[in-house]
Amino acid sequence: MSFFKKLIERFTRTNTLYYPGCLTKFGLPDINKNYEDILKENGIDFIKSDDENCCGSPVLNAGYEDDFRTLVMRNNENFRKRGVKKIITNCPACFNMLKNIYPKYIDNWDFEIEHITQTIAKKLDKIRAKSEGTVFYHDPCHLGRHAGIYEEPRRIIEKIGYNIEENEDIKEKSICCGGGGGLRNNNIKLSKIIARKCMDCVKSKDVITTCPLCYSQLKEFTEKNVKELSQCMKNLKE
């Protein structure tokens, strides 16, 4: 590519990065594609990066703080090299890291961080109801208790056309799916027990969540019909 073409590309490209996170990008490519399509359908211009690193959540939770610092520095360097100003992610763990933890390690961390439910919630007028029935919304730990995002996912689900079953074990009292904090990898038996306990209080057979890990965990270890939000939004046009 010529110097002038590179220069034009640099000044005309968007400064919003879509950051799907490791599990979505490598383990759930269909969900990754769904969210890319949803952003495009709602007129949200974004760039993707092939040289992004893990956000570092599993590394930090495992106690490897020096390695986590290395990932933070690499991501910061890559984001700035790409001219990124805003980061949209669908992963609650990535969102919590980028929004709340990274600023503790980098003094000039000034990126705007947005969870994709916040992004979509701004475009509710473009969503037409195409579903019906009652579903239970499972609040992911990192999106709920860690980040305080409870209403945006519910507003989207209701806009799609669903009624939401609510009980005492929601929002800040939501039961963990059992997949996070390294538990699934280190004690699969206990992880499975917690997943089933999480769903014991849910009457609806249909469950929606906004976390790729919660989705994978509950789908594998419970009898519920579990969907990730993007699967419910697939093919919803303006």
Same-domain status, 72 and 180:
no
Query: Tens of pLDDT along 87-141?
Result: 999 999 999 999 999 999 999 999 999 999 999 999 988 787 777 899 999 999 9
Among 90, 120, 150, give the residue marking a domain's end: 120
Same-domain status, 144 and 189:
yes
194 belongs to a structural domain: yes
Same-domain status, 113 and 222:
no
Same-domain status, 115 and 30:
yes
Q: Nearest-5° angle of CA 105, CA 46, CA 119?
A: 75
207 belongs to a structural domain: yes
Q: How many helices (H) and strands (E) does the chain have?
A: 12, 7
pLDDT band at 8 (very low <50, low <70, confident <90, very high): very low
Contact 207, 227 (CB under 8 A): yes
Percentage with pLDDT > 90 across the chain: 79
Identify the CATH number of the domain in which residue 163 sits. Answer: 3.40.50
193 belongs to a structural domain: yes
Angle, nearest 10°, between helix axes 188-200 and 212-221?
90
| Per-residue pLDDT at 238 | 42
Same-domain status, 16 and 100:
yes
| Per-residue pLDDT at 225 | 96
Q: Which of 46, 102, 116 is nearest to 74 (CA)?
A: 102
Task: Count up the domains in the chain and report the number.
Answer: 2
Domain extent at residue 137: 127-233
Q: Nearest-5° angle of CA 98, CA 213, CA 68?
A: 35
Rounded CA-CA distance 21/18 in Å is 9
Among 102, 120, 138, give the residue marking a domain's end: 120
Rounded CA-CA distance 82/78 in Å is 6
Among 78, 105, 120, give the residue marking a domain's end: 120
Alpha helices in 173-211 (DSSP H): 183-186, 188-200
Query: Tens of pLDDT along 154-197?
Result: 999 999 999 999 999 899 999 999 998 888 888 999 999 999 99
238 belongs to a structural domain: no
Identify the CATH number of the domain in which residue 53 sits. Answer: 3.40.50.1860
